[in-house]
Structure 1
Amino acid sequence: MPFLQRTESVTRSAIGSCPDICVSLATQTVLSLEGYILARVTVVDYGGDILLDTLVIPRSRVIDYCAERTGFNESHFIAGGKIRSRISISRSSENLPGHILGFEITRQRVAQHLRGKVVVGHRLWVSLDALRLSHPADKTRDLATYFPLLAALPSSSDQDLQDGFPILVQEFMHRTIRKGFENSVEDARAAMDLYRSCRDNWEHLIAASFWPSLTPPREFFQCYT
């Protein structure tokens, strides 16, 4: 398994001197006839600046916009590059992106931003699966599986890992996220901030030939190379 191999291309000193090799990825999904599908994706750089943030035209018929979680409704997903309405989200200073893209062009643009980079996030397998992308396992830094962070959660079940991101951010960053609806910009920035706070120790362990994270769920192994 690639998760248990030593990372040779990424070391603590490399990331310390070249933070541009890191990006953070976050997505939001809605429920379709095919299951959960991509609705919004955000990629930010090491400093939290937005590289990509877009809504995504659903690739199959949506049966539930999961409004209680996302705040989305049908009017947010219309073709033609404009959004008819906006919603309130957890950061009053952040609005929805002012455009919408098709799934394939979104997938291509995200792939360009991730190529050759260390990708940070929480439950990255969910985002990669929604995007139908894969990424080298040794170039992922998943906050949901990093042993020192897991110790802050009451248990390590998948449900706890899913709901535990705001807990991790509150515990280690003393910051509250998702006070209202989910916001992929907020999530991506919080993930990068949390990674930066424990980066030195994380990269030191990897450079010492120890992979300090759990493996992702088996059903998502195809998301990693």
Structure 2
Amino acid sequence: MAGLSSNWKQLSSKISKPSSNNNNNNTTHYNNKKKKSHTKAKEDHIQNSLKNDKHLLQLKHNRVNKDGFINASPLEFTLWTTIGNNEIKKENIPTTDNTINKSEKDRRKELGKIVAIDCEFVGAGEGRLSHLARVTIVNFYGHVVLDQYVQPRLRVTDWRTWVSGITPWHMQFAIKFDDARARVEEILKDRVLVGHALENDLDKLCLTHPKSLTRDTSTFPPFRAVSSGRTPGLKKLVKQFLDLDIQNGVHNPIEDARATMLLYRLQKNQIEAFAKSIK
């Protein structure tokens, strides 16, 4: 019986102690599970951060207060509050921000038949060629209908942040060039296009637009007169004709697109007459 008892003790000892292989398997399974959990938590955190960053970016662009009202710049305020073809006068343009309320059903948010565009570029490729990195379109009332960061088609060698305002951080919100081009093309179809030095913007978008539907503030003779017949800078035109300051540091394509639209609306009848004369 003593021998039997001794063997039983040894057998019991082996049964009660898990093998080293089992220990390793259990540890590996636990570590893998912990790693997957950590990876998922990290991915969720990144996605939530992106959503929050994108939301904050949109709020910054629109300057939306908690109550839903918008602190409109003089450009946006004038465009939004001047209805239809009512005349815009330089002396009636405010010099400070004013609060406006853009309700969801306001028809001034609709795309309409006249839009203004502005683009920002970065340096890409070995020759640091200009490539599209952001495109913005506003409607007749200055409401933003498209504001999209775009992935440059070549490796960026100069972000030109000091003037473009674009950094690598913004590229997490960027779409592919072909997608951006398609969106712009759809918006511009059969619409009057307003802008400043439009040839450059359209060239970088690899698009063309009918001359009969193009209104370029850089080619309008009364605007060119302030630069002795040369191509005037948008900043100079806005100061001369609207008595406002823009492009103080980093350029904002929303501001620039609204500026060209306001210049167009300020001289709408004359610009339309000029456009017809050069067909």
Per the normalisation by structure 1, the TM-score is 0.71
Any residues of structure 2 matched to 1:24-63 within 5 Å, and which?
A: 24-33=116-125, 35-63=129-157
Match of 2:188 among 91, 114, 125: 114
Compared with structure 1, are the counterparts of its residues 155 and 105 closer, same or farther at alpha carbon in structure 2 (3 Å cutoff)? Answer: same
1:182 aligns with 2:251: yes
Contact 1:58/1:77 (<8 A) preserved: no
Letter of the 1:211 partner, please give it: I
2:278 aligns with 211
2:114 aligns with 22
More helix by share: 2
Q: Following TM superposition, where does structure 1 have runs of at least 4 consecutive aligned residues deviating by more than 3 angstroms?
A: none
Counterpart CA distance in 2 for 1:121 and 1:170 is 17
| Sequence identity (%) | 34
Contact 2:162/2:249 (<8 A) preserved: no
Deviations 1:143-188 (A, max 9, x none): 11111110012451xxx54xx1100011001111111201110000
Deviations 1:109-149 (A, max 9, x none): 00111000010000001110111111101110001111111
Match of 1:74 among 159, 168, 174: 168
Contact 1:153/1:168 (<8 A) preserved: no
Q: Give 1:16 deviation, angstroms.
A: 5.3
Matched positions, count = 170
Gaps of 5+ in 2: 1-83, 87-110
Contact 1:42/1:50 (<8 A) preserved: yes
Q: Give 1:69 deviation, angstroms.
A: 1.0
Counterpart CA distance in 1 for 2:112 and 2:213 is 13
Deviations 1:78-112 (A, max 9, x none): 3xxxxxxxxxxxxxxxxxxxx32111111000011
Q: Give 1:73 deviation, angstroms.
A: 2.1
2:204 aligns with 130
Match of 1:167 among 236, 246, 249: 236
Counterpart CA distance in 1 for 2:256 and 2:224 is 18
The two structures, once aligned, show a CA RMSD in angstroms of: 2.1
Counterpart CA distance in 1 for 2:274 and 2:155 is 45
**Structure with the greater relative contact order (CA < 8 A, sep ≥ 6): 1 or 2?**
1
Letter of the 1:134 partner, please give it: T
Letter of the 2:269 partner, please give it: D
Counterpart CA distance in 1 for 2:225 and 2:142 is 26
1:151 aligns with 2:218: no
Gaps of 5+ in 1: 1-14, 79-98, 213-225
